[in-house]
Amino acid sequence: MKSEHQIQDEIRIALSKAGCTIFRANAGQVTTIEGRQFYGMPKGFPDLCGFRHSDGKMVFIEVKNNKGKLRKEQATFKEFLEKKPVLYGVARSVEDALKIVERTEPNE
């Protein structure tokens, strides 16, 4: 079974070829070896975000492997984004991600 990290990389490459700019978003807090702390996106923020070149529509994708489930914070963020005019979805494969960015209407 592929890891979520592997699936994320495959999706980023495929969406770049499909006319999108996609970034990996780190959520939560990271502490370096030196003890410095950095804060990324809020807990629950989707793994990938970016935009579709054709119209600038924002894209947010939560990546899960075949067994992965949304955590509470991710489900809350999902509910928030589904009420906005953006493209959001959970992708378990490149094919899922392509379906998300090919939508004509947000969250259809």
Quick: pLDDT tens for 30-60.
788 888 887 888 889 999 999 999 999 999 9
Number of structural domains (the chain) is 1
Structural domain contains residue 108: no
pLDDT given for residue 108 in this prediction: 61
Q: Which domain holds residue 75?
A: 4-101
pLDDT of 29 strictly over 90: no
pLDDT of residue 28: 76
pLDDT at residue number 107:
66
The verdict on residue 79 lying in a domain is: yes
Whole-angstrom distance, CA of residue 41 vs CA of residue 68: 20
Confidence of residue 105 (pLDDT cuts 50, 70, 90): confident
The mean pLDDT of the chain is 92
- On whether residue 106 sits in a domain, the answer given is no
Task: Report the CATH number at residue 20.
Answer: 3.40.1350.10
**12 burial type by CB count under 10 A (0-12 exposed, 13-18 middle, 19+ buried):** buried
